[in-house]
Amino acid sequence: MPRTARDVVFVDGVRTPFGKSGKGLYAETRADDMVVRVIRELMRRNPGLPPERIDEVAIAATTQIGDQGLTIGRTAAILAGLPRSVPGYAIDRMCAGALTAVTTSGAGIAFGAYDVVIAGGVEHMGRHPMGEGVDPNPRFLSEKLVDPTALVMGNTAENLHDRYPSITKERADAYAVRSQEKVAKAYADGRIQPDLVEVVVRSLEQGYGLATKDEPPRPGTTMESLAGLKTPFRAHGNVTPGNAAGLNDGATGAILAAEEVAQELGLDARMRLVDFSFAGVEPEVMGVGPVPATEKLLARQGITMDEIGLIEINEAFAVQVLAFLEHFGIADDDARVNPWGGAIALGHPLASSGVRLMMQLARQFAERPDVRYGITTMCVGMGMGGTVLWENTNYEGGK
Beta strands, E only, 234-357: 248-258, 271-280, 308-313
352 neighbors 121 (Cβ within 8 angstroms): yes
| Residue among 391, 358, 387 nearest 277 (CA) | 387
Alpha-carbon distance of 30 to 239, in angstroms, equals 31
The CA-CA-CA angle for residues 145, 150, 156, to 5°, reads: 145
Q: Give catalytic residue positions.
A: 95, 348, 379
294 alpha-carbon distance from chain centroid: 16
Please measure the distance between the N-terminal and C-terminal CA atoms of the chain and give it in whole angstroms: 41
Alpha-carbon distance of 374 to 353, in angstroms, equals 17
343 neighbors 245 (Cβ within 8 angstroms): yes
| All residues at 6 or more sequence positions from 143 whose CB lies less than 8 Å from its CB, including other chains | none
